[in-house]
Amino acid sequence: MKTGPESPVRAPSAVPVDDAVLPFEVDALDVRGRLTRLGPALDDILTKHDYPAPVGKLLGEAIVLTTLLGSALKFEGRALKLIEPLCDIGDKRIAAMDAAGIDFQMLSLTSPGTEQLDAAEAMALARESNDAVAAAVKKNPKRFAGYGANCWGLTASDGPKGYLAHAPDDRDDDGTMTPTGALASFPYTPEASMAAFQHFYHDLGDRIWGIYGPLDAFNESLDWISPIYMGLNQAPIAVMIENYRTGLLWRLFISNPEIQPMLDKIGFQRVPRSR
């Protein structure tokens, strides 16, 4: 098949074609691989935007390559051999660190694909990843630091490079923890928030805790602690802890006569609270 700038761009299929990634192997030729065929999924992405033909072609190729790479993670082979050492956070990792002259490492063990799972399964998988990191840090606290069941919270805050919107992605996650991210979540994650609170207060103690509560942020991988208290992040901690305890601020807000008609007009509906 000839490819190049002169190759026509595939038009949306008039007849639905199944989206599929199919592994194959030809024993006689010692050849194995995967056949990737994207029909409706690719068409749906490309037809939502009025891309110029060359851009659409490049984007389509990128999507197919991404799908092919992603599918490789689900099968045994080279991908599995790569994943195993990356996920090891025990003695093998420490030996590799020693060989490379690395004294300290920040761990962030994510679980790819959780957005494809139902909520309960995704939460269980994420919790297992966090627990694994927490166990590794507890076992080797002088070699590892990382996110775990008791150390979490990503949101906009002070950081080693200034004020940034920290988020759980490769671009915006530099290892900076912001206590308000966990402590202002008490109404939604009371057990996890309490675990973080106890870690911040008892374990990290006066390193990050002072007269006004927690300092704005810290980054253990860079041995950095914010020198400031930020009211913008302190306020939600107090407000949301009280909302968890009594719902006071929520009740005061909703008691304003303007609020309920506004919520009705935009289609909000009251959901019974379960405890």
pLDDT band at 218 (very low <50, low <70, confident <90, very high): very high
| Helices marked H in 9-162 | 40-47, 53-72, 78-87, 91-100, 119-139
- Tell me: the pLDDT tens digits for 13-22? 454 556 666 6
- Asked if the model's pLDDT at residue 7 lies above 50, the reply is no
Residue 59 burial class via C-beta count within 10 angstroms: exposed 0-12, middle 13-18, buried 19 and up: middle
Closest CA to 70 of 21, 19, 124: 21
Select the more confidently predicted residue: 88 or 196.
196
pLDDT in tens, 252-269: 999 999 998 998 999 888
pLDDT of residue 192: 86
For the segment 87-132, what is each residue's pLDDT rounded down to a tens digit? 666 777 778 778 878 776 666 555 445 555 566 766 666 666 667 6
